[in-house]
Structure 1
Amino acid sequence: MRPATEDATDTPAADPSPSLWRNRAFNLLWTGQCLSDAGSAMAGLALPLLVLQLTGSPTQAGLVGTAALVVTTVCRLPAGVLVDRCDRRRLMIVCDAFRVVAYAVLACAVVTGVADLAVILAVVAGGSAATAVFSTAEYAAVRSLVRPDQIVSAVARNEARSYGTSLAGPPLGGLLFGLARALPFFGNALTFLLSLVAVVCIRRPLQQPRPQTAPSADAGGWEGLRFVLGNPFLRALLVIAAPLNMAFTGMIFAMTISLRRSGMSPVLVGLVTTVLGVGGFLGAFAAPSLQRRLRLPALITTICWSTAVLMAVSVLLSPSVVTAVPLAAAVFLGPTANAALFGYQAAITPDRLQGRVVSVILLAATSAAALAPALAGALLAQVPGRAAMLAFPLLVAASALAATFGRGLRSLPAQQ
């Protein structure tokens, strides 16, 4: 029996409607993350601009993004352990409070003229670590916030949020930076504060009751990995998803560089990137419908082959602005794959392992994607643009072959 003080609309089972819009707890978390994701996108654009303005060095400006990526990757597995051992709601509040302070300090440093590369890197590293923990906790909490039949729709809405804020955040960050260098960072601190308030207003636990006895250190660190590797379907998805994510990241990077080499203006290159974001944003809304029409193994296989073909068409159209159209169609399918993957993972993973299993999946996917820009740059330096870009549809074709002929996807029960 739930406590009498708990809001009935916070409980998934209390709402017979299939819509998520009446789920108070999920909407609080989702709205808070819309704001904080937009703030992070603003700061993500403003940080390299700030470093470039302070140092005049593109290399040092690029170091900021690299530092954020490295810290996030390193923190993934420890974040999963924390999320499964600690109260998720309190952990998210601590992460938001830390990020509020960190970006407020950075904004004040910019205003007073004491901001330098060391201060910026410290804020970026600390903020990235907190984000790794918060995002893992958010993924793990979804199953506690919505009914099992709503999980895919909830993940799809989170995907829409991610694409939407990636479209709106950078232009707003550029506008604020143009008005005053500190404004994007004050704005980011404010969005984290609003996210904190939203999490505080969620009145029910974001995990099931925990056992009183603490697990061993070995179990804490490796149990999630053992769960993933012990499930044939999840194991197959890791093999398929890692090159797929790597191909998407590498293809977008290679396309951007190729278009600039051809003499296309930065404005048009930015428009191409916007088209890709719109494709993902629309795909997030279509994800639940697509997922309902196909069994999960068929859905994953269809997405892989479609993406390979669409990427190949994009290569043939390069370098031209229309190269974004087939690639945007491929990006359109991405949210469906993510919703299906994380929906299935959330449904089969015990609550006590949610954080660790999510961290393993995210680490596998993002680590491969992190190598993609370097791979794309090396290929473009050695071979002509189209030939270099062909590596990425071929990489997706390898995933498609694994999905078609591998046994892992076929291990899924017939009702899935």
Structure 2
Amino acid sequence: MSGSGAAVRAEDVLPLRRNRDFLLLWSGAAVSFLGSRVNALSYPLLVLWHTDSPLAMSTVSIAALLPQLLVQLPAGALVDRWDRRRVMVLCEAGRFLALGSVAVVLVAGGFSLAHLVLVACTESTLAVFYRLAERGAVRNVVHPAQLRTALSRNEARGRAAGLFGQPGGVLLQALARWAPFAFTALGYLASLIALLLIRKDFQERRTPARPDLRHEVAHGLGWLLAQRFLRAALGYLSVGNLLLQVVPLALVVLIKDDGHDKALLAVVVGLGGLGGVLGALSGGWWERRFRLRTVFVGGLTTWAVLVLAMARTHAPVALGALFAGTGFVGSVFNVVGAVHQVRITPDALQGRVVGTVYLLGSGANVLGPLLGGLTLQAWGGTPTLVVIGGLLAVLAVAAALSRALHHDDDPVPGTPRSRE
């Protein structure tokens, strides 16, 4: 925690709605994340429009995904070494120029697949650095007693960006092919301006050390592996997230096989996003009232029940409600886990630890569609949901029996573990 903030009584601290620096950080990141979600579909849609080649479309998608796997660990070490504010400013400036170049080329009537691949990879790489720095910066601009509320609002912000960003990207693409890229570039510019207006430091003072990237990455990974609860929880969640990646694909198959319109699929998926927003907003409530282990095992069990229930109905409204429930649980996991991780991790290790956590999540995201494609091709929608629900139930039982998950309240040397 920032040294000055920890000494102030919680009742003397301004509420977050009046915390100027937090509002600037939160709102700047909000438009930044929204721009990223707008571009998630803009790249492949633009390539498919110009080339009519699914292979070319997958090339730009892979370019956007690869940094999520390859850059996380070294980025975490570098973010811990460098000044967080400077990193975030440079990331937003770089993304503004990159996306602006695409808009300019398209307005001029040009198109280059190589240019788009380079921009997609660059934007995704800078997004990794920005996200790692922003997670570590939060606890330095809010009082410790406000940490869970701040992280809950951050999770809601990300879920809302996903809920509105991709449909918005499609609409902007329909207006003009350059429109989503210009919108995103302006969002990065607004985020850059917000960062420059923040007064507080984004990190504690650090003792300069001799740079050694491999040693720094190993140190952060070693610290994470030494935390029994966090290590075990990440292992179970990695498997759970992998299995959950199959669910939306199975819903697509069910709705298509039943002859429903594509617009109905958009409603079902949208309900999942809405559930995520609600889960994020209530995450702090769950974190305050229940032990980590209770939230974790209960959430895995709820996931299993919801997915098995999906296999019992083809009614779109019911599927949407159940899918919203999975998003709700996922957001609660993210908030509760983020509060625990940020609270126990030393400030100088935030980037490396968060990078490792994100790496596990990104890995699951990449493998999930492959698993889903294979199982859906072999079994179809309903049997796949039964298998996924059954595996989630087994995972929940294993988590309930895990001795490592009984250590969620173990103190970390040198880090206060107050429940506020």
Superposition TM-score, scaled by structure 1 size: 0.93
Q: 1:180 aligns with which of 161, 176, 179?
A: 176
Contact 1:254/1:377 (8 A) holds in 2: no
Letter in 1 for 2:326: A
Contact 2:310/2:385 (8 A) holds in 1: no
Is 1:388 the equivalent of 2:358? no
Q: Matches of 1:58 and 1:200 in 2, distance apart?
A: 41
Pair 204,11 (structure 1): closer, same or farther in 2 beyond 3 Å: farther
Q: 2:47 matched to which residue of 1?
A: 51
In terms of mean alpha carbon deviation, does 107-116 or 56-65 score higher? 56-65
Q: 1:326 matched to which residue of 2?
A: 322
Is 1:294 the equivalent of 2:294? no
Q: Matches of 2:382 and 2:82 in 1, distance apart?
A: 49
Secondary structure of the residue aligned to 2:245 is helix
In terms of mean alpha carbon deviation, does 257-266 or 339-348 score higher? 257-266
Q: Deviation at 1:121? A: 0.7
Letter in 2 for 1:246: L
In terms of mean alpha carbon deviation, does 128-137 or 324-333 score higher? 324-333
Contact 2:76/2:355 (8 A) holds in 1: yes
Q: 2:337 matched to which residue of 1?
A: 341
The count of aligned residue pairs is 410
Secondary structure of the residue aligned to 2:89 is helix
Q: Deviation at 1:356? A: 0.2
What CA RMSD, in Å, does the superposition of the two structures yield over aligned residues? 2.2
Q: Matches of 1:409 and 1:131 in 2, distance apart?
A: 32
Q: Deviations over 1:328-358 (max 9, x none)?
A: 1121122211111111111111111110000
Is 1:77 the equivalent of 2:73? yes
Q: 1:189 matched to which residue of 2?
A: 185
Contact 2:38/2:168 (8 A) holds in 1: yes
Letter in 1 for 2:307: M
Letter in 2 for 1:135: R
Q: 1:27 matched to which residue of 2?
A: 23
Pair 150,114 (structure 1): closer, same or farther in 2 beyond 3 Å: same
Runs of 4+ in 1 over 3 A off after TM superposition: 10-15, 215-218, 318-321
Q: Deviation at 1:250? A: 1.7
Q: Matches of 1:339 and 1:219 in 2, distance apart?
A: 30
Is 1:408 the equivalent of 2:404? yes
Pair 363,76 (structure 1): closer, same or farther in 2 beyond 3 Å: same
Q: Deviation at 1:97? A: 0.4
Contact 1:314/1:324 (8 A) holds in 2: no
Contact 1:18/1:150 (8 A) holds in 2: no
Q: 1:213 matched to which residue of 2?
A: 209
Secondary structure of the residue aligned to 2:321 is helix
In terms of mean alpha carbon deviation, does 258-267 or 131-140 score higher? 258-267
Contact 1:307/1:396 (8 A) holds in 2: yes
Contact 1:245/1:366 (8 A) holds in 2: no
Q: Deviations over 1:250-304 (max 9, x none)?
A: 2122212332233221111111111111111111111111222211111111111
Contact 1:250/1:369 (8 A) holds in 2: no
Superposition TM-score, scaled by structure 2 size: 0.92
Q: 2:260 aligns with which of 257, 261, 264?
A: 264
In terms of mean alpha carbon deviation, does 31-40 or 126-135 score higher? 31-40
Secondary structure of the residue aligned to 1:203 is coil
Pair 244,19 (structure 1): closer, same or farther in 2 beyond 3 Å: farther
Q: 1:133 matched to which residue of 2?
A: 129
Letter in 1 for 2:356: V
Pair 298,383 (structure 1): closer, same or farther in 2 beyond 3 Å: same
Q: Matches of 2:22 and 2:172 in 1, distance apart?
A: 30
Query: Unmatched 5+ residue regions in structure 2?
Result: 411-417
Query: Unmatched 5+ residue regions in structure 1?
Result: none
Q: 1:350 matched to which residue of 2?
A: 346
Secondary structure of the residue aligned to 1:317 is coil
Letter in 2 for 1:32: G
Q: 2:369 matched to which residue of 1?
A: 373
Q: Deviation at 1:75? A: 0.8
Q: Matches of 1:56 and 1:111 in 2, distance apart?
A: 20
Q: Deviation at 1:218? A: 3.3
Q: Matches of 2:408 and 2:269 in 1, distance apart?
A: 36
In terms of mean alpha carbon deviation, does 294-303 or 65-74 score higher? 65-74
Q: Matches of 2:54 and 2:213 in 1, distance apart?
A: 42
In terms of mean alpha carbon deviation, does 84-93 or 57-66 score higher? 57-66
Secondary structure of the residue aligned to 1:115 is coil
Q: Matches of 1:78 and 1:87 in 2, distance apart?
A: 15
Q: 2:414 matched to which residue of 1?
A: none
Secondary structure of the residue aligned to 1:263 is coil
Pair 237,153 (structure 1): closer, same or farther in 2 beyond 3 Å: same
In terms of mean alpha carbon deviation, does 251-260 or 223-232 score higher? 251-260
In terms of mean alpha carbon deviation, does 258-267 or 11-20 score higher? 11-20
Pair 195,260 (structure 1): closer, same or farther in 2 beyond 3 Å: same
Pair 43,408 (structure 1): closer, same or farther in 2 beyond 3 Å: same
Letter in 1 for 2:234: L
Q: Matches of 1:96 and 1:14 in 2, distance apart?
A: 35
Q: 1:151 matched to which residue of 2?
A: 147
Q: Matches of 2:113 and 2:164 in 1, distance apart?
A: 27
Contact 2:286/2:336 (8 A) holds in 1: no
Q: Deviation at 1:11? A: 9.3
Q: 1:95 matched to which residue of 2?
A: 91
